Structure 1
């Protein structure tokens, strides 16, 4: 597996928006970022943070040493200024440019690279909207009280309504909000069914045995899509504001087998989800 190649300690803190420190969060992007760091053996700390403090107004975001200044400052790592980075994809890209993270897709041929990008786009630019619809529109109160946990209850009602309206407006403009409940659930199931079929193929060709991780594109090492897919599977399984997504994941056992093997290898310190 790829290992950390940077000579300077980046001193990374991931702000996840939740106070728990030994388990996963409902955000697929938080889980994705943590998996990406752990694939590379990069250590990090966890903080709560807040949307107000986030550089792009969303979690996750990180604080770390500004390694872009190492070549010109001539200073030791302890003297490097701290910088905040937002958006999981841009965080990963920046850390890769600083040689904190390796390029997981460096050995992929153009066809595999396209598949990797397409799977990430399917998850982040399509499934994510279905996920938001189910959580914020269909299961509003559960989602509100979980996500807005730091806000005192009377104020949470107002903030929750604002969040609901913002998400409903966004989903309507994006297009998901114009579909029926049945159409969204069918599309969600089709996505997971297709991914499941690919994972069955990848697992059957894996040389790692029955307990080692296997990877979605069938290679011997993870690609960028694996961190993203792991994040979405775990998020869909543990989020109680997404019961339909949970049931769909349950109907394709290879999804939890895939995520479970990654958990066992890279997240032994985290509480593992229960399998029903």
Structure 2
């Protein structure tokens, strides 16, 4: 679907996200994914800083279609596809059933396993740095107790519930290494992940994850160390960034 067709649809799209600067990637892999899905689809999209407390699910990203706010990266993009605003990237290149299954498997690896590892590193292992970087709207004098009770404790409880917090440090390290190794096995040295002539939805997912972690590498040193062990992951990030966001500074 070319840009002229998008323009004729007269729909203004804005990705609501944490970072306000349009020349930077966001620290959220899901924000970056939504932006990438629309960018890969050729649709002109703006980025705005969103107020998380005003979002339908109290989460970012969300997509503003004219004045309507649609939550969740996958649901927002699917909404664009259903309404004819964007053509689905996977349908456009005619993915086979097997390729669609591979897409689902890689997405689960990234958005379930690796995002959990990312979140644990940020919000548990590097709690103080993450708190003071992301929770600046809480006044400094009361930030430690308020953030502890409203963010840290429920976050730790969630990780304990999933079993991730019950692993030893060495078990978590081994798990992350295996999962980054697995992700690297899917990423080619040239082109896109499924070898098509254009990027698909899984490229948005993987690039979104890599850019989010490279954006705030000081909060996830374990993940960053594993990512840098695989030159194909770094080259993939650079390649996709240069093609679709040439105006943005490379983070690696």
- Same-fold call, TM cutoff 0.5: yes
Give yes or no for contact 1:236–1:249 (8 Å, CA) kept in 2.
no
- Change in 2 beyond 3 A, CA 1:268/1:54: same
Structure 2 residue aligned with 1:72: none
Report 1:114-193 matches (<5 A).
114-161=101-148, 162-193=150-181
User: Shift of residue 237 of structure 1?
Assistant: 1.9
Does the CA-based 8 Å contact 2:192-2:203 persist in structure 1? yes
Query: Would the aligned equivalents of 2:62 and 2:71 in 1 still touch at CA under 8 Å?
Result: yes
Match of residue 245, structure 1, among 208, 223, 231:
223
> C-alpha distance in 2, partners of 1:54/1:28?
18
Determine helix, strand or coil for the equivalent of 1:47: strand
Q: How many residues align?
A: 246
Question: Per-residue deviation at 1:9?
Answer: 2.2
Residues 79-98 of structure 1: matches in 2 within 5 Å?
82-98=67-83
Once the two structures are superposed, residues 54-73 of structure 1 have per-residue CA deviations (whole angstroms, 9 ceiling, x without a partner) of 111111112112xxxxxxxx
Q: Conserved in 2, the CA contact under 8 Å of 1:63 and 1:84?
A: yes
Which consecutive unaligned segments of at least 5 residues does structure 2 have?
Answer: none
Residue 111, structure 1, aligned to residue 98, structure 2: yes
Match of 1:210 in 2: none
Per-residue deviation, 1:26: 1.1
C-alpha RMSD over aligned residues: 1.6
Q: Classify the secondary structure of the residue corresponding to 2:141.
A: helix
Q: For 1:63 and 1:102, locate their aligned partners in 2 and report how far apart those are by CA, in whole Å.
A: 18
Counterpart of 2:54 in structure 1 is 53
Which segments of 5 or more consecutive residues in structure 1 lack a partner in the other structure? 66-81, 207-213
| Counterpart-to-counterpart distance in 1, 2:12 and 2:88 | 20
CA 1:148/1:232 → structure 2, altered by over 3 Å: closer, same or farther?
same
